[in-house]
Amino acid sequence: QRKNPFSSDDRLASKPAHTHRGDPTYGRPPEGSRTEQRGKDAHSHVGREVDELCLIIRRTGEVGEDGHVSVTFGQLFETYVTISNKVVGILLRARKHGLVHFEGEMLWQGKDDDVVITLL
């Protein structure tokens, strides 16, 4: 189906039916679409949550000998969970962007309360 019967957007009818992996638009919503805008909004929202997490680590953590601020996962979880229930996902995103460091792939409440999270 080249045209979405549920959309009033006629630009989609002129779009090629399939894109290929080498194409820069592969796996992306059409430019200017509401789907693209929702993705941009979600990206900026997560970015704000990562910034807020770093601010909380800076406020609640202690400065170590190396000058970096560190906090245990248990302390961070207790502080941050009142703000957002997505603390582990936001921590993983912050690590992906090189903002924090901690050992292990995933953190679990209770089991990993003593894991140190360092703000880079």
Judged by DSSP in three states, 38 sits in helix
Q: Which residue shows structure tokens 């805008």? A: 37
List per-residue pLDDT tens for the chain, 120 residues long. 566 667 666 555 555 556 778 888 888 888 899 999 999 999 999 999 999 999 999 999 999 999 999 999 999 998 887 777 788 999 999 999 999 999 999 999 889 999 999 999
CA 28 vs CA 1, 5, 8: distances in Å: 18, 20, 19
Fold of 34-119: Arc Repressor Mutant, subunit A (1.10.10)
Is the pTM for the entire model greater than 0.95? no
Element (H, E) at 63: strand 62-63
Contact call for residues 101 and 118 (beta carbons, < 8 A): yes
